[in-house]
Structure 1
Amino acid sequence: MKLIEDQEQLQYYLHVHQIESVFNEALLQHLSLHTFDEGEIICEQGEPRSHLYILVKGKIKIFTTSSEGNKLILAFKTPLEIVGDIEFIQNIEMINTVEAVTPVCMIRIHCDWLNKYGNDYPPLLQFLLKIITRKFHIKNNSFVFNLMYPVEVRLASYLLSISFDESNTDFKGQLSVSNLKDAAGLIGTSYRHLNRVIQQLCKEGLIERNKEFIIVKNRIGLSTLANHNIYE
């Protein structure tokens, strides 16, 4: 994590995402802008909640880890997104681990300042309510998506989610073969069936698989297969 000591850049992101009014003058003084490199952990499951993060650039993934060490990817997020909102309101430890998929920028504020200056500030509370209810809506849509669409559509959507970032055209992601079990869990299928679908998509020229990675070869074709549904 790197602190960006540039108030103009901070103000730029507040303006671009139209969230200047979310924070009163007292809270604005305690906002800071930070960058995270690809693969860097932003916050970790089980650690005490300390800050609220607002994703303003890049893509993150959210995953949970079982007591046996098994990981399950829950979602991918792009701006505008909040990390730590539920934990702040419930005053609980971090529920999930959040990792940067691409280089990201995040606005950060300590929860102590939010408690001191934001608990009775309606614009902030309305903003948090809007974000949290949107998360429930997305979860519902994802649940329906997993039930209504075949595995090849869900896999195409998942691969598009992890392989591209609309805010960073230089980013070209790929799925590590070692993460296929996690992918199977997220899209709701067995590891064996997922491998069969991967072989099918390789034959169709949509993706390529080598010993280490699965790479998107035909983004347009994959998007058509996914029916423009992208995992969030």
Structure 2
Amino acid sequence: MDQRIAEYLQKYGLSDLFPDRVREEMYIAHYASGERLFSQDDEAHKMYFLVEGKLKISMLSPEGKRLILAFKSPFDIIGDVEYVRDCHFINTVEAVTDIVVIGVPYSGLRQNMADHAPWLQFLLHTITEKFETKTRAMNFNLLYTVDVRVASYLLSMTPTQQMLESTSLIDMADLIGTSYRHLNRVLQQFEGAGWIVKKRGKITLLDRAALLEQAGQNIYE
């Protein structure tokens, strides 16, 4: 097994969870900022453990709108629900920053961990959290105004930098559940307040403290 995998498992308290035969099937993968790990309805064959960086999870609504469900930071698991349900990927997952994940095939988990009580308890805990997150996300648009959602989105998408590509404001509007016109109006308000600068397809954050105050708390996290 890669020494880096052993170090990550130890870091996140998972050293005793997996037998050696499962560890031997694990591998490390890197994804660049903006790269998609998989799309909604893709076939699911492996589970990912997020150990470095930040992910964005979104879904396509019945109305054809792509909505943000959550942003995830380490430690988190992607593909656990699909593993249990034996179904295609439910959501779309993209890297917000450069990320590192540990991949492990479903086949090895099913062969070696199907009756392993600590693993089943671990899955139960993580999947319960996922459904709580999804419930909060689905109610989100009813609870928060657009300016709060925009502020939170800008903060969540720029965890390590001050600039965000804004070439597709229509996509951004869909993700936070509003119209392009309303989004543009809020961005103009933020720019007028001196919190951001929107220029040449980019949004530069000038006052993160003001945006944090607007968001109240970083609600997408």
TM over 0.5: yes
Find the counterpart in structure 2 of residue 174 from structure 1. Answer: 164
Establish whether residue 22 from structure 1 lines up as the match of residue 11 from structure 2.
no
- Following TM superposition, by how much is the alpha carbon of 1:31 offset from its aligned partner in structure 2, in angstroms? 1.6
8 Å Cα contact 2:162/2:206 also seen in 1:
no
Which stretch of the first structure deviates more once superposed, 200-209 or 212-221?
212-221
Find the counterpart in structure 2 of residue 3 from structure 1. Answer: none
Find the counterpart in structure 1 of residue 54 from structure 2. Answer: 59
- Following TM superposition, by how much is the alpha carbon of 1:175 offset from its aligned partner in structure 2, in angstroms? 4.1
Find the counterpart in structure 2 of residue 93 from structure 1. Answer: 88
8 Å Cα contact 1:177/1:214 also seen in 2:
no
SS at match of 2:124: helix
Which stretch of the first structure deviates more once superposed, 151-160 or 19-28?
19-28
Q: Give the aligned residue type for 1:78.
A: S
- Tell me the TM-score normalized by structure 2: 0.89
8 Å Cα contact 1:162/1:173 also seen in 2:
no
Find the counterpart in structure 2 of residue 78 from structure 1. Answer: 73
Deviation per CA, 1:171-206: give whole Å up to 9, x if none: 44514231x223323333222111111111111111
- Tell me the TM-score normalized by structure 1: 0.85
Q: Give the aligned residue type for 1:153.
A: V
Establish whether residue 119 from structure 1 lines up as the match of residue 114 from structure 2.
yes
Could you tell me which of 206, 217, 223 is aligned with 2:195?
Answer: 206
- Following TM superposition, by how much is the alpha carbon of 1:71 offset from its aligned partner in structure 2, in angstroms? 4.5
Q: Which runs of 5+ in 1 are unaligned?
A: 1-5
Establish whether residue 107 from structure 1 lines up as the match of residue 108 from structure 2.
no
**What RMSD in Å do the two structures reach over aligned CA positions?**
2.4
SS at match of 1:34: strand
- Following TM superposition, by how much is the alpha carbon of 1:116 offset from its aligned partner in structure 2, in angstroms? 0.1
What fraction of aligned residue pairs are identical, expressed as a percent? Answer: 42
Q: Take 2:163 and 2:25, find their aligned partners in 1: how far apart are those partners?
A: 34
SS at match of 1:192: helix
Establish whether residue 41 from structure 1 lines up as the match of residue 30 from structure 2.
no
Q: Which runs of 5+ in 2 are unaligned?
A: none
Could you tell me which of 224, 227, 231 is aligned with 2:216?
Answer: 227
